[in-house]
Structure 1
Amino acid sequence: MSWMVMVTQIFLPVLLLFWFARFPAAGVLVFGLQAISVGAVILGVGLAALWTMPPFWVPYLYGVVFLLTIAWHLVRGHLLGNGFWQASAGPTTLVLMAAGLGAIGGYMGYLAWLGRELPQVDTVNIALPFGAGDYLVAHGGSGSLVNIHLHTLDESVERFRPWRGQSRALDIVRITPFGRHVEGWQPADPTRYVTFGTPVLAPCNGAVARIVDGVQDMQVPEMDPENIAGNYVAVDCGDFFVVLAHLHQGSIQVSAGDSLDIGDKLGEMGNSGNSSEPHLHVHAQRGLPEEAPLSGQPLALTINGDFYIRNDRIKVSGSGAAQD
């Protein structure tokens, strides 16, 4: 957990909730501004930040505490007899500072929400590329705030061109039902992450178009910028290709040219390539150029008809996926 995560996803929300609970502003208008500001920060951080550590349920906990705090103040009558704005200079200054944070949080939440919309571009649908378990989308959606891959759409940046095909990718991690994704506190050993070793399955009926294996799994959080995709399998699904990357070294069980049916095992999730911790990268593209295989035309991607964005949870049982 980085210091940025500690500040934005733990310290700031907890501090604001404590302040709101312990020091409600005097006056209906200033109290309302205080409440809206705190709520906007919680909403913005909840929608825009990645919730693997802390786990996915923490922003919901913040929301419950926030609503209970409002109810407590109303029941206790803290708004009665204070007029519209009775707060002194000190509390007013704090509320205005919180309002600034709330404006930022609200804007972040708005941008993150816009990322839920399926983009108006060519879109393809695939089957689940993994089996039973609980999963969380780390990067995904149609906005750059929730999907880091979108920056490679910029054709004016020459170094992005060999990777343009991955511009609408999904990054997915495996978690426990309670949201834990790792054993211990940021261990360097990738095998201690729940994702590592999870089977990767064929997402369509087709054929293996290309494989890369032999790239070592990195220690966390080291990355390999020389082999960005790490070990990967490119699957020919007919009129498009699906690339499944950052696979575990030596786990790939197919060869170029092999025929595939949906659900055939391709390999295992790993931490090879430019990966800060174990996850599955999956994207769709048209074309698979020989000189730059991942430079094809990027396509928007749905899985079993669902368009996934950051923090979406996918629970896969024997009967299929359920999205939360």
Structure 2
Amino acid sequence: MTIFILTQILFPLILIGWLAFVPPRNLLGIGIQSLMTAIALVAIARMGIWVFPPWWTPYLYGVLFILALALGFLRHQPKRRMPLSWPGWVMIVGFVAFGAYAGNEAARSWTGQFPAAAPAVDLTFPLRGDNFLIVNGGSDIRINAHLKTLDESVPRFRDYRGQSYGTDIIQVNRWGLRSRGIIPKHPAAYLIYGAPVFAPCAGQVVQAIDGFPDMTIPEIDLVNRAGNHVILRCGAFEVILAHFRPQSLVVQSGMAVAVGDAIAKVGNSGASAEPHLHIHAQRPGSLAMPLSGDPLPVRFNGRFLTRSNRVTTPPPETEP
């Protein structure tokens, strides 16, 4: 996670600083460098997990890019007819290759905002409150890490393929920060920790597992990957909600639930690098491997959520 954070901070700043302070002196060179830098920033913005730095950081990079472009032109005054040296041509070729790669990544991540061809399941968003942020979601692996479990060449993924279109949800404050500190070790330092989770569909609890401890960040439980979790059978499909706080479940196997019934509280049990709610829908799995069913895309309140989407839900209506 630390390397990931540094990459999202340092790499964009290096690209922007390069454009501002040492751009090519030729108009062709600075034009290509500017275009490729813009494409790279778009790709980083689309694929990054913006928890720290926060979700608004790509907009700041956009402002800095415009300022860097203006500064590069004003300070260095590139000439239309100035010949390029061979290092200049090498740099241009490098930028074009880099821009082509970044553009492909951005385009592929953009297609991930649309549901896969499989029939989508309609659910009610399982949390109540402001500023929920999607950190994994969508139909492309660039914005949803769960899709790696569709790789049938890795035998261990077959037991968890039902989560392939899964969604991971955290909560941030008004400044876009999700915790006290950058990567605090204690789960209670995260804003979403302890948030009530509600049934996203009407059905029956087929499995309710409790008793696993919260993990200290960034440790994860590689054996009991779902941690404390609930499986709901809602008609022809199942919904799995995972990583609950220990001793927070208020449902048991066999219970019937209605939409909006309390289920548990968000925690950090199982293979969870930090507190979040994991939810996915699937065709029923086997008894031995309950998360191995065919994965199904999900729409929450009619919306297909992807990485960096933000969600605010009103509190339940109360009787007057």
TM-score calculated relative to the size of structure 1: 0.91
The answer to whether the 8 Å contact 2:22/2:72 transfers is: no
1:56 aligns to what?
A: 55
The residue identity in structure 1 corresponding to 2:36 is S
Match of residue 192, structure 1, among 149, 172, 189: 189
Q: CA deviation at 1:102?
A: 2.6
Identity, in percent, stands at 37
Counterpart in the other structure of 2:103: 106
Partner of residue 213 from structure 1, selected from 210, 213, 217: 210
In 2, the alpha carbon distance for the partners of 1:257 and 1:148 equals 32
- In structure 2, the residue matched to 1:179 is 176
Q: Distance in 2 between matches of 1:317 and 1:64?
A: 33
Alignment partner, residue 270 of structure 1: 267
2:136 matches 1:150: no
Aligned counterpart, 1:240 = 237
Post-superposition CA distance 1:21-59 (Å, at most 9, x none): 223322221111010121121111111121111111111
Contact 1:168–1:283 at 8 Å: present in 2 too? yes
Aligned to 1:141: 138
By how many angstroms is 1:204 displaced? 1.1
Q: 1:74 to 1:196 in 2, by over 3 A?
A: same
Equivalent position amino acid for 1:290 in 2: L
The aligned amino acid for 1:16 is L
Q: Which runs of 5+ in 2 are unaligned?
A: none
Selected match of 1:291 from 282, 288, 292:
288
Deviations 1:177-210 (A, max 9, x none): 2210110131111111112111111001222221
Structure 1 residue ranges without an equivalent (≥5) = none
- Specify the code of the residue in structure 2 equivalent to 1:210: Q
Shift of 1:87: 4.5
Q: Classify 1:157/1:74 alpha carbon distance in 2 versus 1 (closer, same or farther; 3 Å).
A: closer
Distance 2:238 2:17 in 1: 50
1:206-232 deviations in Å (ceiling 9; x for gaps):
222210100111000000011010000
- 2-side partners of 1:35 and 1:84: how far apart? 18
The 3-state SS of whatever aligns with 2:106 is helix
TM-score (normalised: structure 2): 0.92
Q: Point out the more displaced range, 94-103 or 213-222.
A: 94-103
Give matches, 1:1-324, under 5 Å.
1-6=1-6, 8-71=7-70, 78-79=77-78, 82-318=79-315
Instruction: Evaluate the alpha carbon distance shift between residue 231 and residue 41 of structure 1 in structure 2; reply closer, same or farther with a 3 A threshold.
Output: same
CA deviation vs aligned residue, 1:289-324 (integer Å, no higher than 9, x gap): 32111111211111111111111111223489xxxx
| Partner AA of 1:271 in structure 2 | N
* Separation (CA, whole Å) in 2 of partners of 1:183 and 1:51: 16
Supply the distance in 2 between the matched residues of 1:123 and 1:261 (Cα, whole angstroms): 20
Secondary structure at the aligned position of 1:109 is classed as helix
Distance 1:275 1:250 in 2: 17
CA distance in 1, matches of 2:195, 2:13: 35
Distance 2:47 2:310 in 1: 15
CA RMSD of aligned residues (A): 2.1
CA offsets, 1:56-105, max 9 Å, x none?
Answer: 111111112212333555678935xx115544455554444444433332
Structure 2 residue matching 1:247: 3-state secondary structure: coil
**Taking structure 1 as reference, are residues 157 and 16 closer, same or farther at Cα in structure 2, changes over 3 Å only?**
closer
